[in-house]
Amino acid sequence: FSVGTGQRFLGFAVSSRHFSASSLALGKALVYSEYGAPERVLELKEQPSESVSSGKVLVKMLGATINPADINMIQGTYGSSSLPAVAGNEGVGVIEDPGTSKLKKGDWVIPTKPGFGTWRTEFTASSDELLVVPNDIPMEYAAGISSNPCTAFRLLSDFGNLKEGDVVIQNAANSAVGQCVTQIAKSRGIKVINVIRSREDKELKALKKKMSDYGAENIVTEEELAGPSSDTFKGLPKPKLAINSVGGSSATNIAKRLDQGGHMVTIGGMSRKPILVPTGAMIFKDLTFEGFWMTRWILNSSSNDRMEMINEIAKLIKDKKLKLWYETVPLESYQESIKRSMEQRKDCKLVFKF
């Protein structure tokens, strides 16, 4: 989920893990002491060591993703932090020293809450701040499992009362969340209408081929969607669920395609434009509009619910029913890597490899 630069996500505080000499094990961390542009405020710092005390475990990070929310937190436009803070919300580590906890040496773990500070090589934490994840999937998938795949999983599980044969429509369909929606939906027998922005012919053909390779069907551009008719919709039931990551006219156009009693869920606002709800459709088609924030779900869910979801997603990965694109980069290249991650069009998600 991304919040545009200059826009503060009001009503929620996402507290980033505070940086101090007494809370981190030996290693390195990307730290910011003030809000601002990442290239200006981020510093790669050496960390002092700390022995594992009662109830604590020592974790060595394996990988940590670079997400829009990470950038927004550093900029000060997403949640709040106790400064100085270690950057990064998502990643996977391995238990080096379980201390007196029930965790085992070699367990793979992810943070249970956002704002944990994952862009570092090692840390100590309470065992209840960590969730064990399967260690028989690629490291990059484990590092990124808690955001995009989980968001897609919850959208398809919690909204629209979807069943096999139903139809979902989504904009920004080639985004990381969109890729996950397409593939998880396919595993459940749910069809997806995938809406993307128009591009030059060569680039558009290449994108459609990539999307088709991971199972995407019914791919249309925003312009085609807004047109009077489209062959994409022939033979398909009207969508029960619309997933909006863009806002503006794009949101309006996917809402217009919804069936009677349909549901539109907003998870982002890439266009930085307000959602324009079609009045007639809202009144006469009894449509429902709401937002979804994965962080809220995590904070309100039990560890058993999170574990069940993670295990189902891991099974899809192992069964090759969920394919994502990652590129590993060293922590030392953070300036260039963060710059790349902020580009509007990118082919893969970047993961710091430790």
Tell me which residues are annotated as active site.
78
Angle at 34 between CA 36 and CA 124, to 5 degrees: 120
Assigned token pair, 318: 């192992």
**Using an 8 Å Cβ cutoff, are 241 and 210 in contact?**
no
Angle at 7 between CA 4 and CA 13, to 5 degrees: 105
Cβ count within 10 A of residue 17: 26
Q: State the Cα–Cα distance between residues 67 and 14, nearest whole angstrom.
A: 15
Assigned token pair, 1: 């989920």
Name the DSSP letter for residue 16: B
Assigned token pair, 77: 């436009």
Q: What residues pair up with 45 in beta bridges, in sequence order?
A: 29
Backbone angles phi, psi at 73, to 5 degrees: -65, -40
Residue whose pair of structure tokens reads 């003030």 in the numeric block: 34
Residue whose pair of structure tokens reads 């910011």 in the numeric block: 32
**Using an 8 Å Cβ cutoff, are 55 and 77 in contact?**
no
Q: Which amino acid is at 32?
A: Y
Q: State the Cα–Cα distance between residues 296 and 244, nearest whole angstrom.
A: 18
Q: State the Cα–Cα distance between residues 307 and 302, nearest whole angstrom.
A: 9
Burial class (CB in 10 A: 0-12, 13-18, 19+), 164: exposed
Instruction: Give the strand order in the sheet containing 85-86.
Output: 42-47, 27-32, 85-86
